[in-house]
Structure 1
Amino acid sequence: MQESSKSDSMIAMMNINKGYMLGEEKVPVLHDICFQVEKGEFVAILGPSGSGKTTLMNIIGCMDVLDEGSYFLDGQPIHEMPEKRLNDVRNKEIGFIFQNYQLISTYNILQNITMPLIVRGMTTKEAEEKCMDTIRLLGLDHRMKHKPSELSGGQKQRVSIARALVGEPAVLLADEPTGALDSNSGKDVLKLFKDLNDMGHTIVMITHDLNVAKSAGRIVHIVDGCLKE
């Protein structure tokens, strides 16, 4: 990877190493990772359990810090940031989409989707107005007053995607987004990702399933903490 390209890419990682202490011994997890995602790309990171893909996802999402190397997100030097600044980046620049949705069961769908904007300081009215286009785009306008327990798995994932989108993040980061869905709902969610990517959204998807990964524009394999195209 060329150092000069870091400011032009949405994600630019150079020589990333990460390990964890196990007793008195440090166990390496990621080995000299170099990874680049251009603005508007849809990339799948494919790997089996224990391959290091979750650790890499956590570093991309600013939920964990690297031991060595450099990481630029939309030109920002993540590897140099203190924890407070990382919190801001995590909340504003990354749209998280989880396998198990992470919805608040006592909130209705509209409240779940607007929550990130209200946390940022918007009034409820401002947040609701800002969310309506996204809610319509994802076909949730007739479900706004429903609770998560009243929705199917596919509908819950659409709520999760809507919640990620409303903050206008630099990157959508999806962790096994079809893992809890049946085959047809999974296909619908992957088509939605394709549509969002066609609209210009940058998407990084973590998966163990090759068939799911094939929906992305590019597949990167992670094996034993090493990345291979």
Structure 2
Amino acid sequence: MSDERLGRKMSESTIIDMKQINKGYMLGTEKVPVLKNVDFRVEKGEFVAILGPSGSGKTTLMNIIGCMDVADSGEYYLDEQPIHCMTEKQMGIVRNKEIGFIFQNYQLIPTYDILQNIIMPLVVRGMTTKEAEKRCMPVIEMLGIGHRLGHKPSELSGGQKQRASIARALVGEPALLLADEPTGALDSASGRDVLALFRQLHGLGNTIVMITHDLNVAKAAGRIVHIIDGCLA
């Protein structure tokens, strides 16, 4: 479905364009609003932090950005694609191709070794294991985890597991890196290393949206957006 048919024109440099996003959840017989008329825009190549305390709505906003949930109302365009018009299956395709996820708890499969975890998104797309391994090696070397590929996640430090998670997010060459509290499970030194890596990836042209409750972590981004009680400030 084209933007013209929808009566909307977007900048070619815009990757996230949200207009009047509302989302609520049922609590008993009452619907409790979580996001309220959210307008949010991210340009390609930006590094943006969404900063807010627990219960502010930042996780719900992240889930909508990541095509893991849908808004009750409003419009959401991701790289000119009208997410709000899509079926669940269409959103799954977008999620797999356009977004690289980096989670606080890494989401690595414990029975797979690190290489198997990293290549998984490419194998899901239909690439052979050999092709996927070849494509992944430049990212693996850049992140400095080439010597840990045959190990299981339980054998890695928190910082190494997060590097593996970042590698997995990068190998599919997504339009957007979406990071949820990426330093939340790390010690201070490992957290600083991961944030330095994010700044490096941003310098290489990657678009990053990072969700955090920590102002010191948010300061690594080029722009900070505050969310309070479901509203962006």
TM-score bracket, shorter-length normalisation: over 0.9
Q: Secondary structure at the match of 1:72?
A: strand
What is the rounded CA distance, in whole Å, between the counterparts of 1:20 and 1:42 in structure 2?
30
Is the 8 Å Cα contact of residues 153 and 181 (structure 1) preserved in structure 2?
yes
TM-score scaled by structure 2? 0.95
1:54 to 56, 59, 82: 59
Q: Secondary structure at the match of 1:142?
A: helix
Is the 8 Å Cα contact of residues 78 and 86 (structure 1) preserved in structure 2?
yes
Deviation of 1:8 after TM superposition, in Å, equals 3.5
Deviation of 1:58 after TM superposition, in Å, equals 0.2
Deviation of 1:7 after TM superposition, in Å, equals 4.8
What is the rounded CA distance, in whole Å, between the counterparts of 1:187 and 1:8 in structure 2?
30
1:158 to 148, 160, 163: 163
2:17 — aligned with what? 12
> Deviations for 1:165-201, whole angstroms, at most 9, x for unmatched residues?
0011110000000000000000000000000000000
1:82 — aligned with what? 87
Deviation of 1:5 after TM superposition, in Å, equals 3.8
2:46 — aligned with what? 41
1:186 — aligned with what? 191
Is the 8 Å Cα contact of residues 10 and 80 (structure 2) preserved in structure 1?
no
What is the rounded CA distance, in whole Å, between the counterparts of 2:64 and 2:12 in structure 1?
18
Q: Secondary structure at the match of 1:15?
A: strand
Is the 8 Å Cα contact of residues 6 and 12 (structure 1) preserved in structure 2?
no
What is the rounded CA distance, in whole Å, between the counterparts of 2:76 and 2:218 in structure 1?
24
What is the rounded CA distance, in whole Å, between the counterparts of 1:124 and 1:143 in structure 2?
18
2:4 — aligned with what? none
> Deviations for 1:122-163, whole angstroms, at most 9, x for unmatched residues?
110010011000000100111111111111000000000000
Deviation of 1:4 after TM superposition, in Å, equals 4.0
Deviation of 1:21 after TM superposition, in Å, equals 1.2
What is the rounded CA distance, in whole Å, between the counterparts of 2:22 and 2:11 in structure 1?
18
Indicate the RMSD between aligned Cα atoms, in angstroms: 0.9
2:32 — aligned with what? 27
1:214 to 210, 215, 219: 219
What is the rounded CA distance, in whole Å, between the counterparts of 1:197 and 1:75 in structure 2?
21
What is the rounded CA distance, in whole Å, between the counterparts of 1:78 and 1:94 in structure 2?
13
2:112 to 82, 98, 107: 107
What is the rounded CA distance, in whole Å, between the counterparts of 2:12 and 2:206 in structure 1?
18
Is the 8 Å Cα contact of residues 7 and 72 (structure 1) preserved in structure 2?
no
1:93 to 95, 98, 101: 98
What are structure 2's unaligned runs of at least 5 residues?
1-7
What is the rounded CA distance, in whole Å, between the counterparts of 1:189 and 1:76 in structure 2?
30
Q: Secondary structure at the match of 2:126?
A: coil
What is the rounded CA distance, in whole Å, between the counterparts of 1:41 and 1:116 in structure 2?
24
What is the rounded CA distance, in whole Å, between the counterparts of 1:5 and 1:53 in structure 2?
25
Identity within the alignment, %: 75
> Deviations for 1:65-99, whole angstroms, at most 9, x for unmatched residues?
00111000001000000111001011111100000
